[in-house]
Structure 1
Protein backbone atom coordinates (compact mmCIF):
# COMPACT_ATOMS: atom_id res chain seq x y z
CA UNK A 1 0.00 0.00 0.00
CA UNK A 2 2.75 2.38 -0.97
CA UNK A 3 1.74 6.04 -0.75
CA UNK A 4 -1.01 5.34 1.79
CA UNK A 5 -1.01 6.80 5.30
CA UNK A 6 -1.32 3.36 6.97
CA UNK A 7 0.64 0.14 6.70
CA UNK A 8 -1.32 -2.91 5.48
CA UNK A 9 -1.27 -4.30 9.02
CA UNK A 10 -2.62 -1.08 10.57
CA UNK A 11 -5.21 -0.74 7.78
CA UNK A 12 -6.51 -4.28 8.38
CA UNK A 13 -6.46 -3.87 12.15
CA UNK A 14 -8.41 -0.60 12.12
CA UNK A 15 -10.86 -1.30 9.30
CA UNK A 16 -11.54 -4.82 10.54
CA UNK A 17 -13.26 -3.12 13.50
CA UNK A 18 -14.90 0.05 12.21
CA UNK A 19 -16.65 1.17 9.00
CA UNK A 20 -14.34 2.60 6.34
CA UNK A 21 -15.40 5.79 4.55
CA UNK A 22 -14.71 5.60 0.82
CA UNK A 23 -15.53 7.56 -2.31
CA UNK A 24 -16.75 6.08 -5.58
CA UNK A 25 -16.03 7.85 -8.88
CA UNK A 26 -18.94 7.66 -11.34
CA UNK A 27 -17.90 8.88 -14.79
CA UNK A 28 -20.55 8.52 -17.47
CA UNK A 29 -21.20 9.89 -20.92
CA UNK A 30 -22.48 8.93 -24.35
CA UNK A 31 -20.35 5.75 -24.30
CA UNK A 32 -21.84 4.63 -20.96
CA UNK A 33 -20.32 4.40 -17.50
CA UNK A 34 -16.57 3.94 -16.99
CA UNK A 35 -15.54 0.86 -15.00
CA UNK A 36 -12.26 -0.88 -14.38
CA UNK A 37 -11.59 -4.57 -13.75
CA UNK A 38 -10.00 -5.28 -10.37
CA UNK A 39 -6.49 -6.76 -10.46
CA UNK A 40 -6.36 -7.01 -6.66
CA UNK A 41 -8.46 -8.38 -3.82
CA UNK A 42 -11.12 -7.93 -2.71
CA UNK A 43 -13.30 -8.75 -5.71
CA UNK A 44 -10.39 -9.77 -7.96
CA UNK A 45 -11.47 -9.92 -11.62
CA UNK A 46 -14.73 -8.04 -11.17
CA UNK A 47 -15.68 -4.76 -12.83
CA UNK A 48 -16.00 -1.87 -10.40
CA UNK A 49 -16.27 1.85 -9.95
CA UNK A 50 -12.91 3.40 -9.17
CA UNK A 51 -12.93 4.19 -5.48
CA UNK A 52 -10.93 4.32 -2.32
CA UNK A 53 -10.56 5.28 1.30
CA UNK A 54 -10.92 8.91 2.34
CA UNK A 55 -7.76 9.95 4.17
CA UNK A 56 -7.89 11.75 7.53
CA UNK A 57 -8.29 15.50 6.91
CA UNK A 58 -9.11 15.03 3.21
CA UNK A 59 -12.32 16.45 1.78
CA UNK A 60 -14.61 14.09 -0.13
CA UNK A 61 -14.10 15.99 -3.39
CA UNK A 62 -10.31 15.92 -2.96
CA UNK A 63 -10.54 12.15 -2.40
CA UNK A 64 -12.56 11.77 -5.63
CA UNK A 65 -9.92 13.71 -7.57
CA UNK A 66 -7.07 11.70 -5.99
CA UNK A 67 -8.74 8.34 -6.69
CA UNK A 68 -9.50 9.29 -10.32
CA UNK A 69 -5.87 10.28 -10.84
CA UNK A 70 -4.47 7.18 -9.12
CA UNK A 71 -6.83 4.55 -10.56
CA UNK A 72 -7.59 6.02 -13.99
CA UNK A 73 -4.78 8.47 -14.74
CA UNK A 74 -7.24 11.30 -15.37
CA UNK A 75 -8.11 14.65 -13.85
CA UNK A 76 -11.77 15.15 -13.08
CA UNK A 77 -14.24 17.87 -12.28
CA UNK A 78 -16.23 16.56 -9.33
CA UNK A 79 -19.97 16.90 -9.72
CA UNK A 80 -23.03 16.01 -7.70
CA UNK A 81 -23.28 13.60 -4.83
CA UNK A 82 -25.22 10.62 -6.22
CA UNK A 83 -25.75 8.57 -3.05
CA UNK A 84 -24.01 5.96 -0.98
CA UNK A 85 -23.13 2.28 -1.30
CA UNK A 86 -22.85 -0.16 1.60
CA UNK A 87 -21.15 -3.52 1.01
CA UNK A 88 -22.91 -6.31 2.95
CA UNK A 89 -22.16 -8.93 0.28
CA UNK A 90 -18.43 -8.24 0.44
CA UNK A 91 -18.58 -8.72 4.21
CA UNK A 92 -20.56 -11.95 3.78
CA UNK A 93 -17.94 -13.18 1.31
CA UNK A 94 -15.25 -12.90 3.99
CA UNK A 95 -13.81 -9.46 3.24
CA UNK A 96 -12.51 -8.05 6.49
CA UNK A 97 -14.15 -4.68 6.87
CA UNK A 98 -17.26 -2.73 6.09
CA UNK A 99 -16.66 -0.04 3.46
CA UNK A 100 -19.26 2.65 2.89
CA UNK A 101 -18.83 4.44 -0.42
CA UNK A 102 -20.05 7.95 -1.09
CA UNK A 103 -20.64 8.12 -4.86
CA UNK A 104 -19.96 11.29 -6.83
CA UNK A 105 -20.59 12.15 -10.45
CA UNK A 106 -17.36 13.21 -12.15
CA UNK A 107 -16.37 14.45 -15.60
CA UNK A 108 -12.95 13.88 -17.13
CA UNK A 109 -11.26 17.26 -17.54
CA UNK A 110 -7.93 15.95 -18.86
CA UNK A 111 -6.29 12.68 -19.76
CA UNK A 112 -7.48 9.35 -21.08
CA UNK A 113 -8.38 6.43 -18.77
CA UNK A 114 -5.39 4.10 -18.55
CA UNK A 115 -6.07 2.06 -15.43
CA UNK A 116 -3.59 1.22 -12.69
CA UNK A 117 -2.06 -1.65 -10.76
CA UNK A 118 -5.40 -1.92 -8.96
CA UNK A 119 -7.30 -2.33 -12.23
CA UNK A 120 -5.42 -2.10 -15.52
CA UNK A 121 -8.39 -2.83 -17.81
CA UNK A 122 -10.98 -0.08 -18.24
CA UNK A 123 -14.14 0.03 -20.30
CA UNK A 124 -17.24 2.05 -21.08
CA UNK A 125 -20.53 0.20 -20.59
CA UNK A 126 -24.08 1.03 -21.65
CA UNK A 127 -25.24 -1.98 -19.64
CA UNK A 128 -23.65 -2.97 -16.34
CA UNK A 129 -21.71 -6.24 -16.84
CA UNK A 130 -22.90 -9.23 -14.78
CA UNK A 131 -19.42 -9.59 -13.25
CA UNK A 132 -19.54 -6.18 -11.57
CA UNK A 133 -19.21 -5.90 -7.79
CA UNK A 134 -22.76 -6.71 -6.73
CA UNK A 135 -23.43 -3.67 -4.53
CA UNK A 136 -22.09 -1.31 -7.20
CA UNK A 137 -24.10 -3.01 -9.95
CA UNK A 138 -27.26 -2.64 -7.85
CA UNK A 139 -26.45 1.03 -7.20
CA UNK A 140 -25.71 1.81 -10.85
CA UNK A 141 -28.77 -0.01 -12.12
CA UNK A 142 -30.98 1.76 -9.57
CA UNK A 143 -29.60 5.28 -9.41
CA UNK A 144 -27.35 6.16 -12.31
CA UNK A 145 -28.94 6.65 -15.67
CA UNK A 146 -26.56 4.96 -18.08
CA UNK A 147 -27.03 6.24 -21.65
CA UNK A 148 -28.19 3.62 -24.13
Structure 2
Protein backbone atom coordinates (compact mmCIF):
# COMPACT_ATOMS: atom_id res chain seq x y z
CA UNK A 1 0.00 0.00 0.00
CA UNK A 2 1.38 3.40 -0.90
CA UNK A 3 1.71 6.15 1.69
CA UNK A 4 -1.20 8.21 0.28
CA UNK A 5 -3.61 5.29 0.56
CA UNK A 6 -2.37 4.55 4.09
CA UNK A 7 -2.78 8.20 5.08
CA UNK A 8 -6.32 8.17 3.72
CA UNK A 9 -7.15 4.98 5.65
CA UNK A 10 -5.80 6.52 8.86
CA UNK A 11 -7.86 9.67 8.27
CA UNK A 12 -11.02 7.58 7.77
CA UNK A 13 -10.38 5.90 11.13
CA UNK A 14 -9.77 9.24 12.85
CA UNK A 15 -12.99 10.67 11.46
CA UNK A 16 -14.89 7.64 12.71
CA UNK A 17 -14.18 8.91 16.25
CA UNK A 18 -13.87 5.40 17.64
CA UNK A 19 -14.21 5.28 21.42
CA UNK A 20 -11.48 2.92 22.58
CA UNK A 21 -12.67 3.17 26.20
CA UNK A 22 -15.18 0.39 25.56
CA UNK A 23 -12.91 -1.64 23.32
CA UNK A 24 -12.55 -1.58 19.58
CA UNK A 25 -14.72 -3.01 16.85
CA UNK A 26 -13.52 -6.60 16.32
CA UNK A 27 -11.98 -6.02 12.87
CA UNK A 28 -10.02 -2.99 14.06
CA UNK A 29 -8.93 -4.77 17.25
CA UNK A 30 -7.58 -7.67 15.18
CA UNK A 31 -5.79 -5.31 12.80
CA UNK A 32 -4.11 -3.45 15.66
CA UNK A 33 -3.20 -6.72 17.39
CA UNK A 34 -1.16 -7.70 14.34
CA UNK A 35 0.78 -4.43 14.41
CA UNK A 36 1.65 -3.82 18.08
CA UNK A 37 1.74 -5.90 21.27
CA UNK A 38 -1.48 -5.76 23.29
CA UNK A 39 -1.41 -5.38 27.08
CA UNK A 40 -3.57 -7.87 28.95
CA UNK A 41 -4.30 -8.97 32.50
CA UNK A 42 -4.51 -12.58 33.63
CA UNK A 43 -6.22 -13.72 36.86
CA UNK A 44 -4.44 -16.21 39.11
CA UNK A 45 -7.35 -17.56 41.15
CA UNK A 46 -7.03 -20.29 43.77
CA UNK A 47 -9.36 -21.74 46.39
CA UNK A 48 -8.96 -22.83 50.03
CA UNK A 49 -7.99 -26.33 48.86
CA UNK A 50 -5.06 -24.88 46.89
CA UNK A 51 -6.63 -25.62 43.52
CA UNK A 52 -6.12 -23.41 40.48
CA UNK A 53 -9.09 -22.07 38.50
CA UNK A 54 -8.75 -22.39 34.73
CA UNK A 55 -11.21 -21.79 31.93
CA UNK A 56 -11.52 -23.50 28.58
CA UNK A 57 -10.32 -21.65 25.51
CA UNK A 58 -11.78 -22.97 22.29
CA UNK A 59 -11.67 -20.47 19.46
CA UNK A 60 -9.86 -19.87 16.19
CA UNK A 61 -6.91 -18.06 17.70
CA UNK A 62 -5.54 -20.77 19.98
CA UNK A 63 -5.61 -24.55 20.13
CA UNK A 64 -8.42 -25.81 22.39
CA UNK A 65 -6.86 -25.73 25.84
CA UNK A 66 -7.23 -24.71 29.49
CA UNK A 67 -5.98 -21.26 30.33
CA UNK A 68 -5.75 -18.66 33.07
CA UNK A 69 -8.69 -16.28 32.55
CA UNK A 70 -7.61 -12.98 31.08
CA UNK A 71 -8.58 -9.96 29.05
CA UNK A 72 -7.03 -7.21 26.94
CA UNK A 73 -6.76 -3.68 28.27
CA UNK A 74 -8.84 -0.83 26.86
CA UNK A 75 -7.61 2.71 26.25
CA UNK A 76 -7.29 4.71 29.48
CA UNK A 77 -8.18 1.72 31.65
CA UNK A 78 -6.61 0.88 35.00
CA UNK A 79 -5.51 -2.67 35.77
CA UNK A 80 -8.14 -2.95 38.50
CA UNK A 81 -10.99 -2.25 36.10
CA UNK A 82 -9.78 -4.77 33.50
CA UNK A 83 -9.34 -7.43 36.21
CA UNK A 84 -12.89 -6.82 37.46
CA UNK A 85 -14.39 -6.74 33.96
CA UNK A 86 -12.58 -9.97 33.09
CA UNK A 87 -13.69 -11.66 36.32
CA UNK A 88 -17.29 -10.64 35.70
CA UNK A 89 -17.21 -11.81 32.07
CA UNK A 90 -15.35 -15.09 32.60
CA UNK A 91 -16.31 -16.07 36.16
CA UNK A 92 -19.58 -14.24 36.75
CA UNK A 93 -18.41 -12.28 39.80
CA UNK A 94 -16.10 -9.58 41.08
CA UNK A 95 -12.81 -10.57 42.74
CA UNK A 96 -10.42 -9.17 45.30
CA UNK A 97 -7.01 -8.61 43.73
CA UNK A 98 -3.53 -7.94 44.98
CA UNK A 99 -2.48 -4.48 43.76
CA UNK A 100 0.83 -5.55 42.20
CA UNK A 101 1.17 -8.25 39.54
CA UNK A 102 2.96 -11.46 40.53
CA UNK A 103 4.41 -11.66 37.01
CA UNK A 104 4.86 -9.51 33.90
CA UNK A 105 5.64 -11.40 30.71
CA UNK A 106 6.33 -10.78 27.05
CA UNK A 107 4.03 -13.32 25.37
CA UNK A 108 4.98 -13.85 21.75
CA UNK A 109 2.94 -16.53 20.03
CA UNK A 110 4.08 -15.47 16.60
CA UNK A 111 2.22 -16.02 13.37
CA UNK A 112 -0.81 -18.29 13.21
CA UNK A 113 -1.04 -19.87 9.75
CA UNK A 114 -4.64 -20.97 10.45
CA UNK A 115 -5.74 -17.31 10.35
CA UNK A 116 -6.31 -15.21 7.22
CA UNK A 117 -4.03 -12.55 8.80
CA UNK A 118 -1.46 -14.67 10.68
CA UNK A 119 -0.01 -11.96 12.96
CA UNK A 120 -3.35 -11.09 14.59
CA UNK A 121 -3.44 -11.85 18.34
CA UNK A 122 0.23 -12.85 18.12
CA UNK A 123 1.92 -10.68 20.77
CA UNK A 124 0.87 -9.59 24.26
CA UNK A 125 2.43 -7.98 27.29
CA UNK A 126 0.73 -9.93 30.07
CA UNK A 127 0.36 -9.04 33.75
CA UNK A 128 -0.64 -11.83 36.13
CA UNK A 129 -2.60 -10.72 39.20
CA UNK A 130 -3.36 -12.91 42.22
CA UNK A 131 -7.12 -12.76 42.83
CA UNK A 132 -9.57 -14.15 45.37
CA UNK A 133 -13.20 -15.05 44.75
CA UNK A 134 -15.99 -13.91 47.04
CA UNK A 135 -16.75 -16.11 50.03
CA UNK A 136 -19.14 -18.91 49.09
CA UNK A 137 -18.40 -18.65 45.37
CA UNK A 138 -19.63 -21.66 43.36
CA UNK A 139 -18.68 -22.27 39.73
CA UNK A 140 -21.66 -21.68 37.44
CA UNK A 141 -21.09 -23.22 34.01
CA UNK A 142 -24.77 -23.26 33.06
CA UNK A 143 -25.27 -25.48 30.03
CA UNK A 144 -21.61 -25.32 28.95
CA UNK A 145 -19.82 -28.64 28.50
CA UNK A 146 -16.16 -29.13 29.54
CA UNK A 147 -14.97 -28.70 25.93
CA UNK A 148 -16.91 -25.46 25.44
CA UNK A 149 -15.25 -22.05 25.37
CA UNK A 150 -15.50 -20.43 28.81
CA UNK A 151 -16.13 -23.59 30.85
CA UNK A 152 -14.48 -23.11 34.27
CA UNK A 153 -12.94 -25.83 36.44
CA UNK A 154 -10.70 -26.24 39.50
CA UNK A 155 -7.41 -28.11 38.99
CA UNK A 156 -5.03 -29.76 41.49
CA UNK A 157 -2.32 -29.84 38.80
CA UNK A 158 -1.93 -28.21 35.41
CA UNK A 159 -3.70 -30.25 32.74
CA UNK A 160 -1.70 -31.66 29.83
CA UNK A 161 -3.52 -29.28 27.50
CA UNK A 162 -2.67 -26.12 29.45
CA UNK A 163 -2.39 -23.27 26.92
CA UNK A 164 1.12 -23.25 25.48
CA UNK A 165 1.57 -19.48 25.41
CA UNK A 166 0.82 -19.32 29.14
CA UNK A 167 3.83 -21.52 29.83
CA UNK A 168 5.57 -18.17 30.35
CA UNK A 169 4.05 -18.39 33.86
CA UNK A 170 5.39 -21.85 34.76
CA UNK A 171 7.72 -20.42 37.41
CA UNK A 172 4.68 -18.94 39.19
CA UNK A 173 2.58 -22.06 38.53
CA UNK A 174 5.18 -24.42 39.99
CA UNK A 175 2.87 -25.58 42.83
CA UNK A 176 0.45 -26.96 40.20
CA UNK A 177 3.04 -28.76 38.09
CA UNK A 178 3.07 -32.52 38.62
CA UNK A 179 6.07 -33.51 40.73
CA UNK A 180 7.46 -35.82 38.02
CA UNK A 181 7.40 -32.88 35.55
CA UNK A 182 9.27 -30.42 37.83
CA UNK A 183 12.69 -31.90 37.33
Query: Secondary structure of 1:127's match?
Result: coil
Matched residues, number: 143
Residue 83 of structure 1: aligned partner: 103
Distance 1:25 1:45, change over 3 A: same
Instruction: After superposition, give the CA deviation of every residue in 1:94-140 in whole Å (9 maximum; x if it has no partner).
Output: 4523112100000002643335998332111121112111132341x
Structure number, greater radius of gyration: 2
Instruction: After superposition, give the CA deviation of every residue in 1:9-33 in whole Å (9 maximum; x if it has no partner).
Output: 1101111101100000110132411
Shift of 1:5: 2.1
The unaligned stretches of length 5 or more in structure 2 are: 1-21, 114-118, 179-183
Distance 1:145 1:75, change over 3 A: farther
The unaligned stretches of length 5 or more in structure 1 are: none
Q: Which segment drifts farther, 65-74 or 114-123?
A: 114-123
Distance 1:11 1:40, change over 3 A: same
CA distance in 2, matches of 1:85, 1:112: 30
CA RMSD of aligned residues (A): 2.5
TM-score of the pair, normalised by structure 1: 0.82
- Structure number with the higher strand fraction is 1
Check the 8 A contact 1:47/1:133 in 2, yes or no: yes
Check the 8 A contact 1:33/1:146 in 2, yes or no: no
Residue 33 of structure 1: aligned partner: 52
Check the 8 A contact 1:85/1:135 in 2, yes or no: no
Residue 108 of structure 1: aligned partner: 133
Check the 8 A contact 2:105/2:168 in 1, yes or no: no
